[in-house]
Structure 1
């Protein structure tokens, strides 16, 4: 049974406090607001906690973060309130209040997910005294907690933390292993250099190499171009994509040389990223590889990098098909299509047909234009996620196109939507490089629902995947559209909307 949290006076008896007097009277209002039905009211409650900025305020926020059961009729799902509480929690500045979060991490009776989020908060705050608790968390049974602890230790200068995370650099879990290697290098750049360079050359997981390449280019700029050149020879597309991204932050003629070579990459998504990176670096607007090569041959000797950031060139150019107006340049694509009840509403910009019908028509015209030229998968999502092909992407042909459209048509409209779940599922497929996410609005349910938390965890996951996520909103609600736009921005994707 859900109930209001108690006053923190009985909950934090063991926490350091800067006073022993009564609870700040403003927290009574904050407690009422945080447990209100309306999200706007909950946000005001979170803001009051930030203003109070003490142990009691943190306890109140943690009580919201640990919610999993629904509050009852008329309330939003728990993640809406959790995401509000998280935004307030990381804005806390009082050291005694932050200490209460460290104690929550130490408490093995607390829910593993809550402890994971505490580990993430400690990493954001970055105080050296958190190193011991994060080091202990590396021994926990929960994998997500261990991953978070290892990641956070990269932001904390701690001898205990460095020693503990160093023992995880050969862990069998690739994410934990990569997080540990990066954290060691961030705490002790020269001491961690050899291990991270070795992993870039020999780690069997291409996702690990991808994530570590980004870190190594940042930490060891003197070796960045050499590391990118080696990554561009990798069989897996992900390290090659990261090499292009890393070269884009190096303003040298030799980095441009490599980007010109990357225009010939066999993966269209990588070649397209090389084009846009060259546009950003040089201010030129060429689209065709032969035009880039000719321009660079004629101008390399006298070229000077432009000052400031050039205006982004238009993404137009030769293309075979668009999906809701966004170009398809990849040949390994996933379509994520909303099947929540809201997709039964009409779409005025499409002549009053339903959002479901518009989504079906858009996919059908893509299939017609790209038959034989695309490897794809299709996911429908509401509370549940369903994949057209459980075995992974399939080649687009008349038969698979017909089957996919039938799969989409038969999926019923029902309930609410969980966008985080479908993003996690598609990120598990190492062969997909581009995603088209169509939604009727912001997520209703899921582990994370607000863009601040979705994008935080999406960016962290995407270090290993390099997915480009384009988002399409079938909505006239600006708040909903903003949520989807932020998801696209986090991965370098495009956003568009229709009402």
Structure 2
């Protein structure tokens, strides 16, 4: 019943545009080949009973940029299945012609259903349809729906619309942290120097995710007024924010005193007395070109934690470890691993040894958890726990008990709560990542539901994700589907994801996962 009402509301809104809009649609089929593809879609789509065939049919229309295709896909935005909806959004977002997307601008303000509005806003933003900017700015005056406000902010950022800055300023005062984050991200995309003073107050926002977004915006826009608040953030208990603030200070001032708050205060007071002005963007670019590229910055920070060569100042972290059947295999590059003091050259034994060493060195003010995965997912604890001596001992004992899933090796003890069998030894990367975000591993989340979620209880800010192979089971196994889903979720979580690979396989998925989520990728070897 709800689907029927939603469908009628959407389609009635389209038809309400009147004969002019309908004729514009009809005249869009100049390219007969495109029109024929749409006709074939209409003919066969209803005959498909399984979701996979429906999604494949929808994706055939990707790039078929004509009004008929938009009209055919429009009703699918109301489908009950979020994967069908996502496929339709993805395909319509591939259209760019004004005659194809233009009618949406008249429909959008008239839609009463907030889900319909937020989906159309997402489409226009992803399509880069800059003609939508005036309509979206106007909607912000009265819009109350949080996901729609988030979508509008992101779209205006994608458009790099400088006229949107006063409208985004209102969103910086919104009660929902998701909206404040989206507005800051948009200002970072627009990079208008005049917006700098709007960003600075958010460096003291009560939500750490908003503070992180404000640090990024201040760093990108390069705001001199942000220097002193950023120095204050060097005293943050949230270790990752301290690192981000230090990096921002370097990029704004071209001075580098690491995360030493006392030194920054002393030197900044001296520079202020000399009426110091930060270097221009052009000057900074010239200076950077002269420096040695990719010089590691992490070495300058104190109180760091290192796992498999990745160093972090985070104090709230999750280790996600692959224990699929292939982790029983031996590494090929034995010369590389022979000095590591490992019990054997088995991949999981190497991983366990490194994780145990890291856990043993965690500081008492760090909170952590461990999640092991194969086909199924099993966490050590239900939430992050303090790294006191008892929890470290318990974690080390649990890690030692882990064995590769799948066909049982002689004497192997399956992970608690799991049993053997080849079917259980696959690599469910999507499920593990969803569980890491605190979501159900067997269900793709709806973006609107994610947007409406409050602040995560654990305040997790860093994930270490280790695997030895490509995804082979779970809701999604396609690399692009997994990457897209993680990007959507992480827009609102701001979690850094570091990835570690071990073994022989195509590692571009793990490298891209880290790159898209602010992390580092490390290849331990074959």
TM-score normalised by structure 1 residue count: 0.72
Structure 1 position 141, deviation (Å): 8.9
Aligned residue in 1 for 2:65:
95
Distance 1:196 1:369, change over 3 A: same
The answer as to 2:457 corresponding to 1:487 is: no
Within a 5 Å distance, the mapping from 1:452-463 to structure 2 comes to: 452-463=480-491
User: Contact 1:105/1:115 (CA < 8 Å) preserved in 2?
Assistant: no
**Helix, strand or coil for the counterpart of 1:130?**
helix
CA RMSD of aligned residues (A): 4.4
The answer to whether the 8 Å contact 1:451/1:486 transfers is: no
Residues 473 and 496 of structure 1 are in contact (CA less than 8 Å); yes or no, is this contact kept in structure 2? yes
Q: Which of 472, 480, 500 is 1:472 aligned to?
A: 500
Partner of 2:463: 435
Q: Deviations over 1:281-309 (max 9, x none)?
A: 55555424244445545556265342344
Report the alpha carbon displacement of residue 371 of structure 1 after superposing the two structures with TM.
4.6
The DSSP-based 3-state class of the residue aligned with 1:380 is strand
128-137 or 350-359, which deviates more: 128-137
Partner of 1:403: 394
Shift of 1:497: 1.4
Please say if 1:316 is aligned against 2:299: yes
Cα pair distance change 1:427/1:197, threshold 3 Å: farther
CA distance change for structure 1 residues 187 and 228 in 2, over 3 Å: closer, same or farther?
closer
Give the TM-score normalised by the residue count of structure 2: 0.68
Stretches of structure 2 lacking an aligned partner (at least 5 in a row): 1-27, 339-343, 403-414, 439-455
Given the alignment, which residue of 425, 438, 444 partners 2:435?
Answer: 425
In the other structure, the counterpart of 2:88 is: 118
Matches of 1:296 and 1:346 in 2, distance apart?
Answer: 53
Deviation at 1:487, TM superposition (A): 0.8
Q: Distance in 1 between matches of 2:223 and 2:503?
A: 44
1:24-79 residue CA offsets vs partner (Å, 9 max, x unmatched): xxxxxxxxxxxxxxxxxxxxxxxxxxxxxx6589899999x99756x9xxxxxx99
State the match for 1:200 in structure 2.
172
Q: Is the 8 A contact 2:430 2:474 kept in 1?
A: yes
Distance 1:218 1:18, change over 3 A: closer
**CA distance 1:251–1:363, change in 2 (3 Å):** same
3-state SS, counterpart of residue 470 of structure 2: coil
Equivalent position of 1:169 in the other structure: 143
| Unmatched segments (≥5 aa) in structure 1 | 1-14, 24-53, 72-77
Residues 250 and 256 in structure 2, CA contact (< 8 A), matched pair in contact too: yes
- What secondary structure does 1:463 align onto? helix
Distance 1:239 1:162, change over 3 A: closer
The structural deviation recorded for 1:116 is: 2.2
What is the CA deviation profile of residues 136-176 of structure 1, one whole-angstrom value per residue up to 9, with x for unaligned ones? Answer: 79979996x765433223343359975996699322xx444
> Does 2:238 align with 1:237?
no
The Cα offsets for residues 370-389 of structure 1, whole Å up to 9 and x where unpaired, read as 15221112222233333333
Q: Deviations over 1:4-35 (max 9, x none)?
A: xxxxxxxxxxx958337999xxxxxxxxxxxx
Helix, strand or coil: the match of 2:180? helix
| Cα shift readout 1:107-129 (whole Å, capped 9, x = no counterpart) | 45795422322223323434443
Please say if 1:359 is aligned against 2:372.
no
Q: How many residues align?
A: 435
Structure-2 change in CA distance of 1:232 and 1:159 (3 Å): closer
Match of 2:317 in 1: 333
Aligned 8 A contact 2:188 2:216 in 1? no
Q: Could you tell me how far 1:331 is from its partner in structure 2? A: 0.3
Q: Mean Cα displacement is larger for which, 404-413 or 235-244? A: 404-413
